[in-house]
Chains A and B, each alone.
Chain A
Amino acid sequence: MSAIQSPATEEIHPDVALVARAKAGDTTAFEQLVRQYERQIFRVAQHITQNREDAEDITQDAFLKAYEKLEQFQGNSKFSTWLVRIAVNESLMRLRKRKTSKTVSMDADVQTEDGAIPRDFAEWRPNPEQNYNQAELAEILRKTIQGLPPGFRTVFTLRDIENLSTEETAEALGLSVPAVKSRLLRARLQLRERLSRYFHKKEGQPA
């Protein structure tokens, strides 16, 4: 049983040279950075907002903002983490604007006990990746993560999908490390519980 670990941060990231060239006015270097991270930034925005139009706007705004503020990027963090942080801020702002009646706060959804205690104890057989095609699986994964409270799905997205470290996630969201860990546990357990409804069933049974 091996643990799922994030890769260690390398000493000099290849982005450093690209950022330096972009700062010096080389637009192709910046375009290369956009190409490298457009999918990741879009994914983050889409996971948080759950809205394609918003996610596209946020992706565009995040890159334009990054270009404007490029001089301010000191290289203390990875360029991708800096970008993700911009996209997360924009996404959370959108979410708050959209939900006028309900406040979206990173703290608001901690109260829920839903899924904190596992209830489904059946192994997933056969393996879901053998049992569903790519499109069906993507649809199940989308529907399942959509149902998580925004604070949980944001932490899960950054930690488990985008592979940010606990510290980077805490920094991006303005949360403490223990707060990130507790949200991550809840998010993982809730997703597991919801996915089990699909995956623990034997073939031929209705979903």
Chain B
Amino acid sequence: MNCTDFLSQLTDYFDGQISPELLEEVRAHTAGCSHCEVVLNTTRQTIEIYRGNEVYEVSDDFRERLHSAIMRKCGQKASA
């Protein structure tokens, strides 16, 4: 496996959809290629850091507006 082959397997690797044979090849490649090892580690960190940190928060003001709009709508439908 070369670096290009490694990159082409990266999505399946992270999604746990890689065959055991290819997984072995990925491991063997990253054991001998420090660049791809870094790419693997930092790509994993990229995914984890976006998963683990709330980048956008709903404001309390909006939450209130949203719920009154929903309740208005529910009321309309109920009385229709």
Residues of A whose CB lies within 8 Å of any CB of B are 1, 3-6, 25, 27, 30-31, 34, 38-39, 42-43, 46-47, 52, 55-56, 59-60, 63-64, 67-68, 118, 120-124, 128-129, 134, 137-138, 141-142, 145, 156, 160-161, 163, 166, 181-182, 184-185, 188-189, 191-192, 195-196, 199
Say whether A191 contacts B50, CB under 8 Å: yes
Provide the residues of chain B in CB contact with A123, threshold 8 Å: 38, 41-42
Main secondary structure of the interface of B (DSSP, over half): helix
Residues of B whose CB lies within 8 Å of any CB of A are 7, 10-16, 18, 27, 34-35, 38-58, 62-63, 65-67, 69-71, 73-75, 77-78
Provide the residues of chain A in CB contact with B62, threshold 8 Å: 42, 56, 59
**What is the CA–CA distance of A15 and B41 in the complex, to the nearest angstrom?**
36
Q: Which of B18, B56, B58, B67 has the most CB of A within 10 A?
A: B56
Q: Given that A38-B66, A63-B66, A129-B49 are known contacts, is A5 also in contact with B16, CB under 8 Å in the complex?
A: yes
**What is the CA–CA distance of A163 and B52 in the complex, to the nearest angstrom?**
12
Q: Which of B34, B45, B54 has the most CB of A within 10 A?
A: B45
Q: Which residue of A lies closest to B58 (CB)?
A: A42
Q: Per a CB cutoff under 8 Å, which of B46, B56, B67, B71 touches A191?
A: B46
Minimum C-beta distance from B55 to chain A (A): 5
Provide the residues of chain A in CB contact with B39, threshold 8 Å: 118, 121, 189, 192
Minimum C-beta distance from B22 to chain A (A): 12
Further pairs besides A161-B51, A192-B46: 8, Cβ < 8 Å: A31-B67, A38-B58, A47-B56, A63-B70, A121-B39, A128-B45, A188-B10, A199-B45
Say whether B43 contacts A188, CB under 8 Å: yes
Say whether A42 contacts B56, CB under 8 Å: yes
Provide the residues of chain A in CB contact with B71, threshold 8 Å: 27, 31
Say whether B66 contacts A4, CB under 8 Å: no
Say whether A43 contacts B56, CB under 8 Å: yes
**What is the CA–CA distance of A163 and B16 in the complex, to the nearest angstrom?**
14
Say whether B50 contacts A160, CB under 8 Å: yes
